[in-house]
Amino acid sequence: MSNDVIDARVVPEGRLEVLSRLEVSKLLDTSRGGLHQLFRNCSLAVLNCGNTLDDGKELLERYRSFDIRVVPEERGIQLEVKGAPATAFVDGQMIKGISEHLFAVLRDLVYVSDEIMGNPAIDLDSSTGITNAVFHILRNADILRPLTDPKLVVCWGGHSISRNEYDYSKLVGYQLGLRGLDICTGCGPGAMKGPMKGATIGHAKQRISGGQYLGISEPGIIAAESPNPIVNDLVIMPDIEKRLEAFVRTGHAFVVFPGGVGTAEEVLYLLGVLLHPENASIPVPLILTGPAEAKDYFAEIDRFVVAALGTEVRKHYQIIVNDPVAVARSVLAGVQRVADFRTERGDAYYFNWALSVDRELQAPFAPTHDNMRNLNLSKNQDRHQLAANLRRAFSGVVAGNVKDEGIRAVEQHGDFEIRGESSILDPLDSLLASFVAQQRMKLPGKAYKPCYRLIK
């Protein structure tokens, strides 16, 4: 990875042309609590597009001299960047897609700061209020498409997968694109880029223009999963829980490729929603898929969720190995079921208001050592609540692996302690050990040092 840097000024193109004086002052405020540091960190991640660095702490330290400032102009605003990664530029000009992503970050951070946080009209202490906040952020980002039939497929998977797994994800994306389906991912590399890349070819062959390649991220993870160049709609949610709810509310079907703890966190979040008794009749297609060598990986995932959540959990997902056509056909059939269900009920196609998302899945979880230690990982609770707590455990491991604040917390206080019943921790230990053995925690070639200890 090159450490060459560039200084430049960038003009917005249709993303956010004007800001109030108050908004500018917040973005220039370098004191604690100001928006500047958050904007700087997210912007650096966007400018790191195409590079393989997946460690938020290392990225910030490698580009310590990087800075970005809003410059008010007579006709609007410009962004002044200093010490930016040179790979974001061609012949001194910022790549257009990266520029669009940069102003999308600015748009979302400003909107959340001004219109969501501290807004008395949005109750972030209630489940309904959080869902409304998610909706308003997505609507402000102009990524909801109310005049189109259901066709958005959420694809989850690891950012550091093998070449064969990446190529397989492209094949699945290609088959989805041939069937006119759009793609939503966490917006990063690996299994998040592959389906988008495949779908672009499928769309092109079918002469489909205006395909949506939606990326949903959040400030804590964006440094490890910089938006890939194919993303044409980017939205930055304020935290991981709202990011996950945004996936669930906007997606019409879900495809999961091989990944690590972040992918497991996403699967557990969705299972926590699907296991809620009030969601029993709502169709949400979920398919786990990968190439032939991923068979054992999915068997391990299946063993873990069944051991923790019971055999009935299997009715909520399919496992299809090494068959992109079968995956695409199953997804298309599932999307049709979703369309029929929502048509019959008069529900919106573009946002799944009908789903009940439990408060445990919505409340922001800070992966501190105390919070990780006090998670309830026992079977003396409803299955959807156990899934929510398991999701939090995986979220903590993600933080300790790749998020700047999580890495620093582990360096200062030692490994996270994860406590629970043997019937849960034994299969969890087996699953995490398989992730480490398969180098799914970090990029291949880097030795992985666990940031957690399991205590029975």
Q: How far apart are CA 93 and CA 98, in angstroms?
A: 11
Q: How far apart are CA 41 and CA 220, in angstroms?
A: 9
Return the closest-CA partner of residue 376 out of 360, 362, 364: 360
Q: How far apart are CA 124 and CA 362, in angstroms?
A: 10
Phi, psi torsion values for 320, nearest 5 degrees: -125, 120
Dihedral (Cα; 229, 186, 111, 396), 10-degree rounding: -140
Q: What's the pTM value of the predicted model, to 2 decimals?
A: 0.91
Q: Which pair of tokens denotes residue 138?
A: 């997505």
Return the closest-CA partner of residue 154 out of 309, 24, 12, 334: 334
In the chain (456 residues long), the average pLDDT of successive 10-residue segments reads: 78 66 73 76 84 63 85 77 90 90 89 88 93 96 91 93 95 98 93 96 96 93 82 94 97 96 95 96 97 94 96 97 98 98 96 94 93 94 95 91 84 93 94 86 65 90
* pLDDT at residue 402, as a whole number: 77
Q: How far apart are CA 79 and CA 47, in angstroms?
A: 13
Identify any residues that bridge with 154 across adjacent strands, giving them in sequence order: 184, 254
* pLDDT at residue 57, as a whole number: 64
At residue 436's C-alpha, the angle toward residues 432 and 442, to 5°, is 115
Phi, psi torsion values for 381, nearest 5 degrees: -155, 165
CB 309 within 8 A of CB 271: yes
Q: How far apart are CA 39 and CA 26, in angstroms?
A: 10
Structural domains in the chain, sorted by start: 5-115 (3.30.1850.10), 145-456 (3.40.50.450)
Return the closest-CA partner of residue 258 out of 250, 249, 269, 266: 266
Alpha-carbon 402 to chain mean position: 14
Q: Which pair of tokens denotes residue 282?
A: 């709502």
Q: How far apart are CA 94 and CA 91, in angstroms?
A: 8
* pLDDT at residue 444, as a whole number: 46
